[in-house]
């Protein structure tokens, strides 16, 4: 069962990286990576209709063949903006976790950031909303500060995913599904570029 949580902000304090033997994680964006973005996803049924089957299979393979923590980090500013209720959003995240399980995979955690653009970040903390790295810091703490962000990956389709992954100190992989990095929202250079989640996963597996 995946842990599904809202993350508004988190502090980087106390997080250590480059520590041998620490747990590694693969962070993954949702929209544009697990589902197509040409339609809105405001209900579980809309998620089902937009899902990319090869992405579910790719996570299943990562689950079987590695011990990476598998964590979704997704901006859902539509919650604060009122495009969907918190209940609808939760139902969509639960549906994704369920579909991953049906495909034979697992998600260790699914974090979403409901913050709208006007959210006031507490002093000393990082915004959960990408391109800030709050969701990554939250993850590092949630898993007993055991996740080594420097030994982890972030996979996403937008510049904000790459920016957040960079800020957190992960290796960043841009995929050409969804916005394919053409959103222009922030200056960020991915470490690697892949066609889709499936090929990004093959790359991670090949690296060992
Ligand atoms: Mg996306």
Counting the structural domains of the chain, the total is 1
Residue 9 β-bridge partners: 127
Mean pLDDT for all residues in the chain: 94
Side-chain-side CA neighbours of residue 177 (13 Å):
25
Nearest to 135 by CA among 178, 101, 170, 184: 170
Q: What residue numbers bound the domain in which 158 lies? A: 3-207
State mean pLDDT over 183-196: 95
What's the Cα-to-Cα distance from 95 to each of 11, 41, 142, 153, 182, rounded to whole Å? Answer: 29, 12, 22, 24, 28
Pairing of the two strands 25-28 and 126-127: unpaired
- pLDDT above 90 for 20: no
31 catalytically annotated: yes
Largest CA distance in the chain: 44
132 catalytically annotated: no
- Looking at residue 126, its pLDDT comes to 98
Residues near 112 by Cβ (< 8 Å), separated by ≥ 6?
Answer: 4, 5, 6, 7, 30, 72, 73, 74, 75, 76, 79, 89, 93
- pLDDT above 60 for 96: yes
Q: Which is higher by pLDDT, 44 or 20?
A: 44
User: If you measure from the C-alpha of residue 89 to the centroid of ligand 1, how many angstroms do you get, rounded to a whole number?
Assistant: 16
- pLDDT above 70 for 49: yes
User: If you measure from the C-alpha of residue 19 to the centroid of ligand 1, how many angstroms do you get, rounded to a whole number?
Assistant: 30
User: If you measure from the C-alpha of residue 147 to the centroid of ligand 1, how many angstroms do you get, rounded to a whole number?
Assistant: 23
DSSP state of 82: T
Cis? peptide before 101, omega within 30° of 0: no
Give the strands of the sheet with 171-175, arranged side by side: 3-6, 109-113, 69-75, 25-28, 153-156, 171-175, 192-194
User: If you measure from the C-alpha of residue 160 to the centroid of ligand 1, how many angstroms do you get, rounded to a whole number?
Assistant: 8
Q: What is the CATH number of the domain that holds 145?
A: 3.40.50.1000
- pLDDT above 90 for 144: no
């Amino acid at each position: 069962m995946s842990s599904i949580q809202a993350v508004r902000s988190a502090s980087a304090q106390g997080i250590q990286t480059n520590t041998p033997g620490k747990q590694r994680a693969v962070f993954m964006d949702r929209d544009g990576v697990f589902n197509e973005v040409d339609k809105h996803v405001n209900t579980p049924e809309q998620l089902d209709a937009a899902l990319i089957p090869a992405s579910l299979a790719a996570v299943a393979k990562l689950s079987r063949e590695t011990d990476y923590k598998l964590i979704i980090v997704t901006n859902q500013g539509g919650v604060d903006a009122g495009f969907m209720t918190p209940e609808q959003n939760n139902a969509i995240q639960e549906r994704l976790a369920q579909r991953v399980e049906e495909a034979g995979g697992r998600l260790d955690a699914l974090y979403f950031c409901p913050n709208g653009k006007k959210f006031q970040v507490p002093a000393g903390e990082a915004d959960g909303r990408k391109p800030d790295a709050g969701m990554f810091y939250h993850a590092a703490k949630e898993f007993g500060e055991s996740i080594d962000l420097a030994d982890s990956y972030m996979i996403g389709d937008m510049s904000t995913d790459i920016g957040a992954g960079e800020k957190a100190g992960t290796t960043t992989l841009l995929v050409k599904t969804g916005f394919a990095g053409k959103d222009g929202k922030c200056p960020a250079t991915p470490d690697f570029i892949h066609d889709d989640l499936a090929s990004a996963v093959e790359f991670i597996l090949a690296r060992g």
